[in-house]
Amino acid sequence: MESQAQCSVCSSRSYSTIVAAEKMFGMGGHFQYRECRDCGHVELTEVPQDITRYYPANYYSFRQPSAIKTFLKTKRSAYSHGQRTLIGALMERKIGPDPTAEWFRHAGVRKTDRILDVGCGSGIFLRDLREAGYTSIMGIDPYIERDYQYGPIHIKKMSAYDLKQKFDFIMLNHSFEHMLEPVKMMQQLARLVDKGGTLLIRVPVIGEAWKTYRENWVGLDAPRHFFIPSVSSFSIMAEQAGLRIHDVVFDSTDFQFWASEQYKRNIPLESSQSYDRNPGGSIFNADQIQDYKKRADQLNREQKGDQASFYLKIN
Ligand SMILES: [Zn+2]
């Protein structure tokens, strides 16, 4: 299709369109996305006026886990971040290491660094870090009800545009794709990263799963995801914001397969038949899930996974 509309990243007028429905909760609807034929960027043509409707109270980032779960996960996180306790070791063995530990290691984050999480929701990820020894952690999200404090962790109801102070490490953990004007946001984040600091943006990316599943790809997440970058469109945006990509780690998981297979069969993520809710009652057996895990690792090695972590530095 050739028309007046253009790719918001590379300005190309050559694109194809696809219509997708809301599938996490099974709310349906028709949301049109444009896929740029030049840079591969996929973006929502028109943001629905009632977008908040698609963030119901049970949306995952607003959930508050139980006290005991929080206690155990806090021990697990402290262990993953180097504070060795028996209970932490047992929890890490049971549920795996805290993923933040890997990101922090990769970015060389120190315990005294000024850390900012942009779009932290109710701050579940951050709250787990309260015993891990970090002295300065702040999370911000304009859509939470109010401010919270958990020991050294401050969670504030605000946007990145409200901040002026510098940080050593800023992360966006699957929040970037929910934001309008991504380049403008990147420019603001570049202002907030101190010299020598790192900006980590974790996002879904256009990979093999998009090609396979199209409107049923779980990473599209219509209409909450306003755009999904390709590696090329992400690189162009970073450059426009004066940022340099220091490293890219593909970290897609089995989720891209089982959740998209469910969407193909109209099984919402938030349903009793969903694999993460009820593995025994799902449409998958253990072998299939193992196979999906292997395929995800393979795609990550080939840089075709559907999620990536971009480690950025200021120029
Ligand atoms: Zn483009």
Contact partners, residue 101, CB within 8 Å, separation at least 6: 77, 80, 81
Distance 64 CA to ligand 1 centre (A): 39
What per-residue confidence (pLDDT) applies to 61? 66
Rounded average pLDDT over 206-235: 98
**Number of continuous H segments (helices) and E segments (strands) in the chain:** 9, 12
Q: pLDDT tens-digit profile of 7-27?
A: 999 999 999 999 999 999 999
Contacts 24+ apart (CB under 8 A), 47-56: 47/180, 47/223, 47/226, 48/223, 51/223, 51/224, 53/27, 54/22, 54/25, 54/27, 54/223, 54/224, 55/143, 55/224, 56/25
Distance from residue 171's CA to the centre of ligand 1 (Å) = 25
pLDDT at 116: 98
CA of 14 to the centre of ligand 1 (A): 8
CA 151 remoteness from chain centre: 25
- Distance (angstroms) between ligand 1 centre and the Cα of 190 equals 22
The answer to whether 220 and 228 have CB atoms below 8 angstroms apart is: yes
Report how far ligand 1's centroid is from the alpha carbon of 80 (Å): 40
What separation in Å is there between the alpha carbon of 291 and the centre of ligand 1?
34
Nearest-angstrom CA–CA distance, 240 and 225: 21
Distance between CA 22 and CA 65 in Å, rounded? 25
* Domains of the chain, start order: 57-314 (3.40.50.150)
Residue type at position 84? R
239 CA to centre of ligand 1 in angstroms: 14
From the CA of 296, how far away is ligand 1's center (Å)?
Answer: 26
Report whether pLDDT(123) > 80.
yes
Query: What is the structure's pLDDT at 278?
Result: 87
Residues 6+ apart with CB under 8 A from 295: 254, 257
CA distances from 193 to 90, 116, 180, 214, 233 (A): 36, 10, 20, 35, 22
Confidence at residue 277, expressed as pLDDT on a 0 to 100 scale = 87
Give the distance (Å) from ligand 1 centre to CA of residue 10: 4
Residue 2 predicted with pLDDT over 90: no
Q: What rounded mean pLDDT belongs to the chain? A: 94
Q: Ligand 1 center to residue 5 CA distance, Å?
A: 11
- Report pLDDT digits (tens) over 52-84: 899 887 776 667 777 888 889 999 999 999 999
Give the residue-averaged pLDDT of 93-115. Answer: 95
Give me ligand 1 centre to Cα 235, in Å: 11
Q: How far away, in angstroms, is 26 Cα from ligand 1 center?
A: 30
Read off the pLDDT of each residue in 196-210 and give the average, rounded to a whole number: 97
Ligand 1 centre and the CA of 226: distance in Å?
15
Tell me what pLDDT residue 57 has: 77
| Confidence band of 3 (pLDDT split at 50, 70, 90) | low
Confidence bin at 34 (pLDDT 50/70/90): very high
CA distances from 94 to 23, 38, 188, 201 (A): 30, 45, 39, 28
Q: How far apart are CA 40 and CA 175, in angstroms?
A: 20
CA of 311 to the centre of ligand 1 (A): 22
Between 62 and 132, name the one with better pLDDT: 132
Between the CA of 174 and the centroid of ligand 1 the distance, in Å, is 21
Q: Which residues surround ligand 1, an ion (CB under 5 A)?
A: 7, 9-10, 12, 36, 38-39, 41
Least confident of 97-101, 117-121, 123-127, 295-299: 123-127
How far is residue 156's CA from residue 245's CA, in Å, rounded to a whole number?
A: 28
Q: Tokens 């780690």, residue?
A: 249
Q: Is the pLDDT of residue 258 over 90?
A: yes
Assign 3-class secondary structure to 110-150: CCCCEEEEECCCCCHHHHHHHHCCCCEEEEECCCCCCCEEE
Tell me the mean pLDDT in the region 212-229.
98
Cα dihedral 96, 99, 102, 108 sign: negative
Question: What is the CA(229)–ligand 1 centre distance, in A?
Answer: 9
Specify whether the CB–CB gap between 166 and 139 falls below 8 A.
no
Q: How far is the CA of 37 from the centre of ligand 1 (A)?
A: 7
CA 203 / ligand 1 centre spacing (Å): 17
Q: How far is the CA of 3 from the centre of ligand 1 (A)?
A: 14
Contact 254, 248 (CB under 8 A): no
Measure 234 CA to ligand 1 centroid, in angstroms: 10
What residues does 139 pair with on adjacent strands? Answer: 117, 155
The least confident of 11-20, 197-206, 223-232, 272-281 is 272-281
Per-residue pLDDT for 125 more than 90? no
| % of residues, the chain, pLDDT over 70 | 98
Please state, in angstroms and rounded to a whole number, the distance separating the CA atoms of residues 129 and 133. Answer: 8
